[in-house]
Structure 1
Amino acid sequence: MSQIAIPFSSWLVLGPALLCGAAALTAGLIVLLRPWLARYALARPSARGLHSVPTPQGGGIAVLVATALAAGIGAQCTALLPGDATRLGAVLAAAAVLAVLGLIDDIRPLPALPRLVVQLACMAVGVWMLPEGTRLFGIMPLGLERALLVLAGAWFINLTNFMDGMDWLTVAELVPISCGLAMFWATGLLPVVPGLLALGLLGGLAGYAPFNKPPARLFLGDVGSLPLGFLTAYGLFALGGSSAAGGGALAGAIILPLYYIADSGLTLVGRLRRREAVWTPHRSHFYQVAAQRDGVWSVLGRVGVTNAVLLWLGIVSVVSGFAALGVAALAMAVAVVAFLLLTLSGRGRDASAGP
C-alpha cells in the first residue's frame, strides 16, 4: 500500500509552506494572465452562468500550475514509496490534458462526444494510478470496480464543470473537500500522492478565491473546472479505498462532496424526465434557482454552512474507522443536504409560511 505518514512536526512546517506558496503563486499568475484572458477568453452571459457582464475566464490555469508545483515540491520533501513518483506524474499529466481540452472548449466550444472520450481516457489513467491496494468494494471484481470508478470519475468531472456557474460556489465546495483530504494525509489516513495534490489544490483555490468573490472578476473556465474535478475525484477515490482509514473511509468519501452529488444528480434526473438535452447549458440547478430568487450571498451562506457540517461528519466517519459510525454519519449528511436542497428550492420556506 502506498502509505506514508510523515512526522506531524514536519507536516506543521511543510503543510503551511506548500499551502501559502501555492496561494501566492496562483494570485501572482492570475495578475499576469488576466489581461490576456480578458482579451481572448471572455465568458459572456449565457443560459448557464449567473453573471450579467462579460468576465474573463481561465483562472484555472493558475490554480493547476500552482497545484502541480506544490505537489512536486512536496514530493521532493517527503519519503515516497516505489511508484509514487510515477503516480504523481501520470495524474498531473492527465490533469494537464483535461486543462488543454478545457482551454480549447473555452475559446471554441467542442462537441460533447469528443470531450467525453478524452475525459474517460484521463479518468482511466487516474484510476489506474490510484495508490496500490486501493479497493472501495472488496466483494466486487477488481476490473468491474475500476470500470465503475472511471464512469463515476467522468461524471464527477462534468458535475464540477456544470456546477461552476456561480461566483465562489466551486471554492465553497472544493475547499472543504481539499481541506479534509489534506488533513487525512497529515494524520496518516490518506496516501501521500492524493494528500499532496489536495494540499496544493487547497492553496491554489485560496489564491484564486479573491478574484472570484462576488461579483467575480475572474472565472475558472473549463480549463480549470475539468482538471480540478478530476483531481478531486482522484483524491476521493483514494480516500474511499484507503485501508489505513478503516471502515468509515468510503462513507467519508461520499459525505465530503454530497451536496455537489445531490444537486447535480437530482437536477440531471429532472432534466431527463423532462426529455431535455442534458449536455446543454441551463439554470435549473437548485443553487441557480435560489440565487435568482434570493441572491448569490444567501445561497453561498447556506452552501458554506452545509459543507462545513459535511466536512465535520466526514472527519468523524473517517477518523472513527468504524463502518457503523460511517453509516450513521452518512445518514446525517443525507438529512443535512436534503434540508439544504429543500430551502434552495423554496419549498421549505413555502411550507413554513402556512396556508
Structure 2
Amino acid sequence: MTTPGLFTSLMVAGAAAMLSAALTQAILPLLQRYALAQPNARSSHRAPTPQGAGIAVIAATLFVAVIIMAWSGTTEMGIPVAVPVATLFIAIVGLADDIKSIEVLPRLLLQAAAVAAIVVTAPGDLRIVPACPLWIERAILLLAGLWFVNLVNFMDGLDWMTVAEVVPVTAAIVILGALGELPASTTLMAAALCGAMLGFAPFNRPIAKVFLGDVGSLPVGLLLGWCLLQLAWHQQFIAALLLPLYYLLDTTVTLLRRMTRGEPFWAAHRTHFYQRATDNGFTVWRVAGEVFVLNIALAALAIGSTAASPVAIKILLLAIGGIAASALMFRFSRP
C-alpha cells in the first residue's frame, strides 16, 4: 500500500485551503443575496447570516483530492467512485434543504441513499466483525452512517464548532495514514477536507460572516464518516470511536433526553450541551476553544490506541476519552 508522506498531505491540505478560501470569497455575495439563514429556535445567531459556504468546502475537498489521486497514477491512491458521487449527491440534497426545507422522511431517505451507495459498494472483505453475517454488519453500518451524517449537521450550530471538530479529527487521520494505518486514498481525502475547513475558518470565526449550511454539514459528515469507517475496517475500532467522541456523546445524550421527555426530537431545538453552554454564559470563543482542545486530546488518545496491543489498554484509553468528554458536557450544562 502506497502511503503518502506528511509533506504530501500538507501540500494537499494547503492547496485545498487556498481553493476553499478563494471559492468562499467568490460566492459570498451570491449567498448574501439568495441564501440568508434566518434565526430560528435552533440558531445561535441573532441576525440573518448567509449560508452555503459548504459549496466551496466540498468543491475544494473533492477537486484537490481527486486531482492528486488521478495524478499519482497508482491504484493504491485511487478512491472508490461511490465516495465522491455520494458526496455530491448528499450536497445537492443539503442545498435543496437550505433553499426550501424538505420534509423529514424524504430527507432521511435521500441521505440514506447516499450512505448506502458507499456501504453497499464496499468490497466484501472489508469487515469490522468477521464472525457477524455481512448483511447484518452492512445494515448496522448504514444506520450508523445515517446517524453520523445527521449528528454532524446537528452539531453545526455555533461559529467554529464544525471547524473545531473536523480539523483535529482529519489531522489525526492524516497522521495515522502516514503511520501506515490507513489507505492512501483515505489519508489524502482527510488532508483535503482538513485544508478546506481551514480555508473556510476565517469566514466562520465569531461573529461568522457565513455558515456551512446543510450543503456543507451533510457531505462533511459523510466524508468524515467514510474516513472513520476505514479506520474501523482496518481493525482500529477504538480509534474510530475516540476521534468523534464528543460529537457522539453530545448528540446521543441530547437525543435520548428529548425522547424520554416525550419531546419531538426531530424538531429544531437548543438543548445540545454546546448550545446550553452559551445560554449558561460561556462565550462562543470559549465553547469552540474548549471543544477544540478536547478533540486534540481525543486525537492523541486515538493515535495512542493504534499503537497499543493489549485490548485492555485500548479500552482504558476509550474510557479516559469518555470521561473527558462527559466532564466537558457537564461543565457546559452548568452556569
**TM-score band, normalised by shorter chain:** over 0.9
Moved more, 233-242 or 13-22: 13-22
- Alpha-carbon displacement from aligned partner over 1:275-305 (angstroms, at most 9, x marks no partner): 1111111000001001122221221222122
Distance in 2 (CA, whole Å) between partners of 1:74 and 1:187 is 20
Name the counterpart of 1:155: 147
1:125 CA displacement = 1.3
User: 1:5 touches 1:188 (CA, 8 Å); kept in 2?
Assistant: yes
Moved more, 213-222 or 120-129: 120-129
- Alpha-carbon displacement from aligned partner over 1:156-205 (angstroms, at most 9, x marks no partner): 00011111000000010111111111111122110122222111100100
Aligned counterpart in structure 1 of residue 200 of structure 2, from 186, 203, 208: 208
Structure 1 unaligned spans of 5+: 244-248, 350-355
Q: Secondary structure at the match of 1:72?
A: helix
Query: Over aligned residue pairs, what C-alpha RMSD do you find?
Result: 1.6
Aligned residues: 334
Name the counterpart of 2:279: 292
In the alignment, is residue 252 of structure 1 matched against residue 239 of structure 2? yes
Distance in 2 (CA, whole Å) between partners of 1:326 and 1:74 is 34
User: 2:41 touches 2:270 (CA, 8 Å); kept in 1?
Assistant: yes
1:79 CA displacement = 5.7
Q: How does 1:176-191 map to 2 (within 5 A)?
A: 176-191=168-183
Aligned counterpart in structure 1 of residue 53 of structure 2, from 38, 45, 59: 59
Distance in 1 (CA, whole Å) between partners of 2:293 and 2:10 is 24
User: 2:9 touches 2:187 (CA, 8 Å); kept in 1?
Assistant: no
- Alpha-carbon displacement from aligned partner over 1:241-274 (angstroms, at most 9, x marks no partner): 115xxxxx10000000000000000000011011
TM-score (norm 2): 0.96
User: 1:26 touches 1:62 (CA, 8 Å); kept in 2?
Assistant: yes
The amino acid across from 1:106 in the alignment is D
Name the counterpart of 2:87: 95
Name the counterpart of 2:186: 194
Structure 1 segments of 4+ aligned residues over 6 angstroms from their partners: none
Aligned counterpart in structure 1 of residue 261 of structure 2, from 259, 266, 274: 274
Structure 2 unaligned spans of 5+: none
Aligned counterpart in structure 2 of residue 312 of structure 1, from 296, 300, 303: 300
Q: Secondary structure at the match of 2:139?
A: helix
Distance in 1 (CA, whole Å) between partners of 2:325 and 2:230 is 23
**Aligned residues with identical type, % of pairs:** 42
Q: How does 1:331-342 map to 2 (within 5 A)?
A: 331-342=319-330
1:81 CA displacement = 3.1
User: 2:124 touches 2:134 (CA, 8 Å); kept in 1?
Assistant: no
- Alpha-carbon displacement from aligned partner over 1:56-106 (angstroms, at most 9, x marks no partner): 100101010110012112213446437x7460x320110100100000100
